[in-house]
Structure 1
Amino acid sequence: MGLCRPDPPARPHPPRPGQRQQHQQKQRRGRPLRSVRPGPAPPRPARREMYGHKYPGSFLKAIVNRPLQKEFRASSPTYMSLGSVLCLVTGASRGFGRTLVRLLAPRLGQGSVLLLLARSAAQLAELAAELRGTRSGLRVEFVAADLGCEQGLRQATAALREVLPAGPPGRLLLINNAGSLGDISKTFLDLTDPDEINSYFAFNITSALCLTSSALQAFGKQPGCSRTVVNISSLCALKPFKNWTLYCSGKAARDMMFQVLALEEPDVRVLNYAPGPLDTDMQLLARTKTGDADMRQFFQNLQESGQLIDCSVSAQKLMKLLEEDTFCSGAHVDFYSI
């Protein structure tokens, strides 16, 4: 019986195109030479980390690198029903609130009641008429009131109590969207007028607190029912922006306020949703009226590079969060983290 010849030692494969150059680069850097095999690109940083960097440079880079927005077509989507809901939306007459209401209405089941709140009676009446004409089985009511004053807040609370008996007993959905920028031409040291400051916080904080607590009390705790509260938040709730003392303070206070609600009332679903830099009238004010020149340029760059988010795109993400209902109650969820 003959002896088997041992196999010759394996020879390394010749380098593939581009590998020789990589070896040479590593040698020049003083790194140990090792075989380089093609593989998947290293993972990008998490969107939450990218979006959380400081502005304006890396923050702008994070927005520029985000995935392209999906085009919204109102006639094509298949809606998931939220069931029979008593729904209240503040700041519903324009911008994100108006877009959100249009996406929300088709998802409300038969017998639902939709109550719209804002300052502009004409815009509310137009929107209510539009929804009534395109959505059967949905009762749409509106109240034109200034939530920043005591009388307007009472009007809104009275309207809510009036529609409660007609609303379905199963679910309450309250979306606190109303808000304002304040005077962003002023620095911290310029804010010395107590009336100006109190007026801002009355509209942006007090009204949200009083309206939410009144709605939850009026709806009550019922067996088998659900109560959901959404606060439209902002990156400014987490990070300071120059000349935005009032806005950042208001958003931070509202976030914490609703976190306390989630802690005290575990049966209430609470969400702080930051919709991202939206293409709205408020964004126009940001890039033209902000006192700090660097911040103005930052917002102008967002607009000129086409990186502002269409309201319908962000509103669809909020709808997805509400439909899936898997968020941690009280959490701050950003557009870019979804």
Structure 2
Amino acid sequence: MSAATATARKAIIVTGASRGLGLAVVQSLLESNARVLGVSRSSLASSPALAQLANAHPTTYTHLSEDLADETAATRIIDQCISTFGRLDGVVHNAGILAPLAKLATAPLAQVRTAFDVNFFAGLALAQAALPHLRTARGRFILVSSGAAVTAYSGWGAYCTSKAAGNMLVAALGVEEEDVISVALRPGVVDTEMQAEIRADGKEAMGDSNHGKFVDLHSSGKLLSADVPGVVIANLALEATKDLSGKFLSWDDKDLAAYQKRS
């Protein structure tokens, strides 16, 4: 590959890259010949699947271990992407935490703040650090949201409110940033470790009925494979059009048909 061709290939940052939905997004981006800086709190070695991807794409994948609850992490992440790839075309803020699984009346405030730090403030910090580069590239900021941003679940107060704040972050960026396309995406109920956490630990805070719905989705095989919304997120990070900016959309929305996985 020539230097000119390498420089022209888009560079995308993906947080929460080590497993689940983030891993699926990374894989889809690499298959689309993008260059990827994957970010996770854990090391690359702790994720065999991601390590295998990294070994298969040694010139197009770079990993950075950062705790996104640290407000200084965003600058290091953006700087790493620029120093490695010479450009930044998109940010996918996928990292998120559900804890505390507790009703708001008793949820430990320190844990609620941590949920906001990861789910919302890390996204804002990444946007602030990335925007100068994204404006130049006419790039994209994709935030992985949730149906819980618009539908409250008992015991999920910290998650619901932080995801709702993320939706408004994207809406505000859509109004303020003419040269950057920002989208919040609901990925559906995906077969990830977060779902396993809900099944294992959520019953007391959620109640039998709500908890049972998620248990039933798993037992009946109705959870989405991560690669299904993962492809949509990757394609949005590469190709989302201006008419989508500022919107909160579901992965299977008719307006996203062009971004969905083709059978």
Query: Where on the TM-score scale, by shorter chain, does this alignment land: which range?
Result: 0.7 to 0.9
SS in 2 for 1:89: strand
Instruction: State which of 52, 56, 73 in structure 2 corresponds to 1:134.
Output: 56
Q: What's the counterpart of residue 40 of structure 2? A: 118
* CA shift digits 1:216-262 (9 cap, x unpaired): 13x2643xx32100000111111111111011101100010111011
C-alpha displacement of 1:124 = 6.3
Q: 1:96: Cα distance to partner?
A: 0.7
Q: Do 2:141 and 2:181's aligned partners in 1 also have CA atoms closer than 8 Å?
A: yes
Is 1:228 the counterpart of 2:140 in the alignment? yes
The answer for the alignment partner of 1:310 in structure 2 is 225
Checking the alignment, whether the CA contact within 8 Å between 2:74 and 2:122 is kept in structure 1 is no
Deviation at 1:141, TM superposition (A): 1.8
Mapped pair 1:180 → 2:102: no
- Can you list the C-alpha shifts for 1:5-49, whole angstroms capped at 9, x where unaligned? xxxxxxxxxxxxxxxxxxxxxxxxxxxxxxxxxxxxxxxxxxxxx
Contact residue 17 and residue 26 of structure 2 kept, 8 A: yes
Q: After superposition, what is the alpha-carbon deviation per residue over 1:50-87, rounded to whole angstroms, capped at 9, x for unaligned?
A: xxxxxxxxxxxxxxxxxxxxxxxxxxxxxxxxx61121
Q: Secondary structure at the match of 2:189?
A: coil
Distance change (3 Å), C-alpha of 1:196 and 1:268 = same
| Structure 1, unpaired ranges of 5+ | 1-82
| Counterpart code for 2:67 | D
2:164 corresponds in structure 1 to 252
SS in 2 for 1:164: helix
Q: Is the 8 A contact 1:85 1:168 kept in 2?
A: no
- Once the two structures are superposed, residues 300-330 of structure 1 have per-residue CA deviations (whole angstroms, 9 ceiling, x without a partner) of 1111221110001221233444565345201
Shift of the 283–123 alpha-carbon distance from structure 1 to 2, 3 Å rule, reads farther
Show the counterpart of 1:287.
199
* CA distances 1:269-322 after superposition (whole Å, capped 9, x unpaired): 111111100011111121232221111111111112211100012212334445
- Residue number in structure 1 paired with 2:14: 89
Work out the percentage of aligned pairs sharing the same amino acid.
26
Q: Is the 8 A contact 1:273 1:333 kept in 2?
A: yes
- Structure 1 residues 94 and 296 mapped into 2: Cα distance closer, same or farther (>3 Å)? same
CA contact (8 A) 2:18 2:40 kept: yes
Bigger radius of gyration among the two: 1
Mapped partners of 2:57, 2:40: distance in 1: 21
User: Which residue in 2 is equivalent to 1:209?
Assistant: 124
Counting only pairs closer than 5 Å after superposition, residues 1-338 of structure 1 correspond to structure 2 as 84-109=9-34, 112=35, 114-123=36-45, 126=48, 129-135=51-57, 137-138=59-60, 140-150=61-71, 154-169=72-87, 172-184=89-101, 186-191=102-107, 193-217=108-132, 219=133, 221-222=135-136, 225-290=137-202, 291=205, 292-322=207-237, 325-326=240-241, 327-338=243-254
- TM-score normalised by L of structure 1: 0.66
| C-alpha distance in structure 2 between counterparts of 1:121 and 1:277, whole Å | 26
Q: Which is helix-richer, 1 or 2?
A: 2
| Structure 2 residue aligned with 1:70 | none
> Structure 1 residues 146, 190: CA separation in 2 closer, same or farther (over 3 Å shift)?
same
Q: Bigger relative contact order, structure 1 or 2, given CA contacts below 8 A and separation 6+? A: 2
Contact 1:288 1:296 in 2 (8 A): no
Q: Residue 118 and residue 136 in structure 1: after superposition, are their counterparts in 2 closer, same or farther (change >3 A)?
A: closer
Measured in 2, the distance between the counterparts of 1:166 and 1:228 equals 19
Runs of 4+ that moved beyond 6 A: none
1:96–1:311: 8 Å Cα contact kept in structure 2?
yes
Whole-angstrom CA distance in 1 between matches of 2:127 and 2:237:
18
TM-superposed deviation, 1:167: 2.4
- The gaps in structure 2 that reach 5 residues or longer are 1-7, 255-263
